[in-house]
Structure 1
Amino acid sequence: MDLELTPEELAFRDEVRSFLAEKLTPAIKQGAAATPSVFVEPDIGQAWNAILHEQGWLAYQWPKDVGGTGWTPVQRYIFEKECAQAGAPNLTVLGLKLVAPVIFTFGTEAQKAHYLPRILSGEDYWCQGFSEPASGSDLASLQCRATLVSDDQGERYVLNGSKIWTTHAHFANMMFCLVRSNPDVRKNEGISFLLVDMDQPGITISPILTLAGDHEVNQVFLENVVVPVANRIGEEGDGWKIAKFLLENERGGSCHAPKLAYDIDQIEAAAQNQPDGRGGMMAQDKDWQRRVAKVRLGVQSLEMIELKILSEIAKGQKPGPQTSLVKLLASNLRQDIDLMGMDLLGLAGMELETRRPLYGDEAPVAVHNKAAQVASARYLNSRAWTIFGGTNEVQASIIAKTVLNL
């Protein structure tokens, strides 16, 4: 694995830096910094998406023949690292990085022609209907029922059941959904993957407020919701295969290390001006320095793993089960960094403002400063990292079976 950038890659890096310096507005950057949750709010996220779309860089992970940039894995990594170091917001991952690869890999030509341009334009905003109240880590046990109906009105599925922890369902007009289309076969074989129009009767969205006060997730109830057969991706019963493909993208489709490194840099810089309570600054405290060094080494180790995966992708290999290792390490490091942010601020970090948003003209005034206002909410929100996308225990099991052959 060659870690040296070629002259062409260095030129590309400089191009990305120039673009970010010109196009990443202070309002978008400030909004991203003051967003405590994993998913950036649509007003900030969609504004940044539109800027990238105009540049032709929004679909940077897509192949060129479906509207993407066709960048190499190294170019994608450079782009993500430069965006992270510039303080840019996360992209709207559910549409761009999760359902879009499913559509251009498994979808029909009609599905690709219809949905992919709408994802890029922002006309469709997606949520993910996977987990259910009794089916979280054991996703294959899901029970949301899709009954195939065929009459003079054509073929369609009728959905009944519920989904939970559905991020941004209250903003979404589309949902990609796993449903049980055949209850009479093995549970993994009876699942199908459907694209559901959220703007129809029978869909009820119930908000779930997090400990931090964020309205990020929801429970979605489906009662006799109609989905045309044309909105099924792949064949009936292909849902589990498609879901595994999607989850590999979710766990390893982006590099986590650049954003984690940016955040530890911000914390380390803040420590220069944070009193240690003994007449000095936290940056000079030896215990604090050891703690920072340990986390930074963890981030650097994660970066090496992510670069190795990118190297394998560049050779035509699939991401594979190593993505579970990335997810496990990134989740733990995310929580370690957010805890450090709280510990650095001391009592000031205990401020928990539940009003949202924490950016813009109508943002509540911070008691101490903006970093302290966001810290507690971010710490509480990141508790979910070791749960969503597959719990730490699930990732450890996957690693044991498929990587270590235990």
Structure 2
Amino acid sequence: MNAPAAATPGAGELLDRVAALLAAHDPATTDRLDFLRARFDAGLAWIHFPEGLGGLGAPRSLQPVVDAALDAAGAPGNDPRRIGIGLGMAAPTILQYGTDEQKQRFLRPLWTGEEVWCQLFSEPGAGSDLAGLATRAVRDGDGWTVDGQKVWTSSAHLARWAILIARTDPDVPKHQGITYFVCDMTDPGVEVRPLRQITGEAEFNEVFLTGVRIPDTHRLGGVGDGWRVAQTTLMNERMAIGGTRVPREGGMVGVVARTWRERPELRTHDLHQRLLRLWVDAEAARLTGERLRQQLKRGRPGPEGSGMKLAFARLNQELSALEVELLAEDGLTYGDWTMVRPELVDFTGRDAGYRYLRAKGNSIEGGTSEVLLNIVAERVLGLPPEPRNDKDLPWKDLPR
């Protein structure tokens, strides 16, 4: 006779666990990193993850209950914006495809922020057509040797680890010959160069890989199965970018609405109508995101996240343009066009000029809007796919 399954923790039990954590590790006297490690070990990091991996197998919807109780007690956070790539992309991929050893090694320091992650996917000749990537990984004894170039890599200048896809078989169609790895960014063959953006900053990078050695124990999924593994990363990435939980009138629409209320002399009928329309669109997107998050099971989003990311990009760009127009000549000022290497993107803490310029990247990063429209059309609406003449050709025979 099988043993009964353990009951899923409810809100009451979670709050009891929070109280026990706080009693054993007073946030006022406990070192920040020590507290975060203890929180992870108590299963209160991401409660929907399995026990022993920072979670309790509890419903994802109860995470705000835990977060609110810890915030009220003055507990330190893990600075999620700084480690967003690790939290939103690497972690769910490792959870789904990683070995037990990989999960134990990577998830805890990822969540506590001890180790920052980046994403080595896009290449100069493989952005929208990611499956056309040319970075090569060649089997070398008990590991792999990787050579190639990646681009638009956020946080590469801060990262300890990277999620990497590389071509391991050029003789099969492009989607079939890709393998997924965890790359050590401290390897001597990794060179990170800044890419200065329209904002004047360089949060992005280009990364050159020359003879980088990756042990086979750092491979996620099967050899040649990297495209399937990468889909988990990409779906989570789009939810992380476009599906972040925000309060009503939060994010960019809140910034513009506040300016509208504080500067009545700037108002016109036309701007008023545009703001009303965008406020309604932002609220519809927020509620859609809430419903989509409620549908997630075990942290594995589907193609619907592409629709959320599309809405996020459009709203950010339209709202930032409206803000610049609303501010008139004040909207043309720009605080500081200085070459810096920021740790995170701060939309709400900067001036209108920065928001307007930085929002232009929202329709590129995390998948271009054109690609996401195709995904929504084919995988959400069930429309016929576009013709793809290269679908069955070996990668080596494709024109480049």
TM-score by length of 2: 0.76
| Aligned: 1:261 with 2:238 | no
1:107-122 correspondence to structure 2 within 5 Å: 107-122=98-113
Describe the superposition over 1:343-366 as per-residue Cα deviations: whole angstroms up to 9, x where unpaired: 23222222221237799xxxxxxx
Q: In structure 1, what is the Cα distance between the partners aligned to 2:307 and 2:301? A: 11
SS in 1 for 2:296: helix
SS in 1 for 2:126: coil
Q: CA deviation at 1:291?
A: 1.7
- Quickly say closer, same or farther: Cα 1:320–1:73, change in 2 above 3 A: same
Q: CA deviation at 1:116?
A: 1.1
Q: In structure 2, what is the Cα distance between the partners aligned to 1:90 and 1:289? A: 32
- Quickly say closer, same or farther: Cα 1:201–1:54, change in 2 above 3 A: same
| Aligned: 1:312 with 2:278 | no
Choose which of 354, 358, 370 in structure 2 pairs with 1:381.
Answer: 358
1:122-141 correspondence to structure 2 within 5 Å: 122-141=113-132
Choose which of 265, 272, 279 in structure 1 pairs with 2:261.
Answer: 272
Q: CA deviation at 1:158?
A: 0.5
1:27 maps to none
Q: CA deviation at 1:373?
A: 5.6
| Aligned: 1:189 with 2:176 | yes
Describe the superposition over 1:236-265 as per-residue Cα deviations: whole angstroms up to 9, x where unpaired: 112100101111111124734626831322
1:366 maps to none
- Quickly say closer, same or farther: Cα 1:371–1:218, change in 2 above 3 A: closer
- Quickly say closer, same or farther: Cα 1:378–1:54, change in 2 above 3 A: farther
- Quickly say closer, same or farther: Cα 1:329–1:48, change in 2 above 3 A: farther
Q: CA deviation at 1:266?
A: 3.0
Q: CA deviation at 1:209?
A: 0.6
Q: CA deviation at 1:58?
A: 4.3
Q: In structure 2, what is the Cα distance between the partners aligned to 1:267 and 1:79? A: 31
Q: In structure 1, what is the Cα distance between the partners aligned to 2:51 and 2:90? A: 17
- Contact between 1:49 and 1:91, CA under 8 Å: does it hold in 2? no
1:41 maps to none
- Quickly say closer, same or farther: Cα 1:231–1:345, change in 2 above 3 A: same
- Quickly say closer, same or farther: Cα 1:180–1:357, change in 2 above 3 A: closer
Q: Which runs of 5+ in 1 are unaligned?
A: 1-6, 24-46, 360-369
Q: In structure 2, what is the Cα distance between the partners aligned to 1:169 and 1:118? A: 17
Q: CA deviation at 1:119?
A: 0.8
Q: CA deviation at 1:339?
A: 1.9
| Aligned: 1:299 with 2:282 | yes
Choose which of 79, 95, 101 in structure 2 pairs with 1:104.
Answer: 95
- Contact between 1:61 and 1:97, CA under 8 Å: does it hold in 2? no
Q: In structure 2, what is the Cα distance between the partners aligned to 1:169 and 1:205? A: 7
Moved more, 374-383 or 338-347: 338-347
Q: CA deviation at 1:134?
A: 0.2
SS in 2 for 1:59: coil
- Quickly say closer, same or farther: Cα 1:304–1:354, change in 2 above 3 A: same
How many residues align? The count is 348
Describe the superposition over 1:117-172 as per-residue Cα deviations: whole angstroms up to 9, x where unpaired: 2212323211100000000010000000001012xxxx111111100001111111
- Quickly say closer, same or farther: Cα 1:55–1:66, change in 2 above 3 A: closer
Describe the superposition over 1:272-327 as per-residue Cα deviations: whole angstroms up to 9, x where unpaired: 22253xxxx53xx433332222111111221232233223225x795322111111
Name the structure with the higher helix share. 1
| C-alpha RMSD of the superposition | 3.7
Choose which of 329, 332, 335 in structure 1 pairs with 2:311.
Answer: 329
SS in 2 for 1:123: coil
1:343 maps to 325
2:202 maps to 215
Q: In structure 2, what is the Cα distance between the partners aligned to 1:117 and 1:251? A: 23
Choose which of 367, 370, 375 in structure 2 pairs with 1:393.
Answer: 370
Q: In structure 1, what is the Cα distance between the partners aligned to 2:339 and 2:37? A: 27
SS in 2 for 1:187: coil
Q: In structure 2, what is the Cα distance between the partners aligned to 1:357 and 1:51? A: 31
SS in 1 for 2:91: helix
SS in 1 for 2:115: coil
Q: Which runs of 5+ in 2 are unaligned?
A: 1-9, 71-78, 384-400
- Quickly say closer, same or farther: Cα 1:358–1:226, change in 2 above 3 A: closer
1:10-29 correspondence to structure 2 within 5 Å: none
Q: In structure 2, what is the Cα distance between the partners aligned to 1:317 and 1:89? A: 17
Q: In structure 1, what is the Cα distance between the partners aligned to 2:107 and 2:157? A: 21
Describe the superposition over 1:67-107 as per-residue Cα deviations: whole angstroms up to 9, x where unpaired: 13645243347789999xxxx97352111121111112111
Q: Percent identity?
A: 29
1:166 maps to 153
Q: In structure 2, what is the Cα distance between the partners aligned to 1:324 and 1:104? A: 21
Q: In structure 1, what is the Cα distance between the partners aligned to 2:247 and 2:308? A: 14
- Contact between 1:351 and 1:372, CA under 8 Å: does it hold in 2? no
1:94 maps to 85
Q: CA deviation at 1:216?
A: 0.5
Q: In structure 2, what is the Cα distance between the partners aligned to 1:267 and 1:114? A: 43
- Quickly say closer, same or farther: Cα 1:48–1:128, change in 2 above 3 A: farther
TM-score by length of 1: 0.75
Q: In structure 1, what is the Cα distance between the partners aligned to 2:34 and 2:269? A: 45
